[in-house]
Structure 1
């Protein structure tokens, strides 16, 4: 489903790299879950929990992917960036629900 949306929008990702669990999400000011480098040349993601022992929920990982993919086109965190992210999330939620996966929490 992510690849379908990427193809439809002409978005590419050169490399997808896991970032180490460094800092605490929503606590430390420099802790992020994802980072898009050079418009999709590389996307770095942090799929693990703060302690590095578990994984984020599937919906949270998808949310981060959708967010970082929107940065392929829009650099700033503004309405232009969030609009495609919400569109893709909407399609993704409908896709998952149609396959029995339910909607995001």
Structure 2
């Protein structure tokens, strides 16, 4: 019997990266996030990493860092694969925090 797979839904992903990453390591970290999303069947529709985001001061220290690099992604992904994307982000040591929110359609 075929298994039901719901349609991909739109999500917004905010990632806080370590502020001590050099520019080429920052690009590699963002590319790693992109490939994680695409490996799980998602597609990135929008990415914002400069103004008004970019490097910002944190409200409280996270892992002894006072600043973080903010990157915003808008993506579509099957609902069953979002948990796997979050798992990969938790395992990535360059990611301080992340949050995935389902967007209204």
Normalization by structure 2: what TM-score? 0.31
Which has the larger helix fraction? 1
Larger radius of gyration: 2
Which has the larger strand fraction? 2
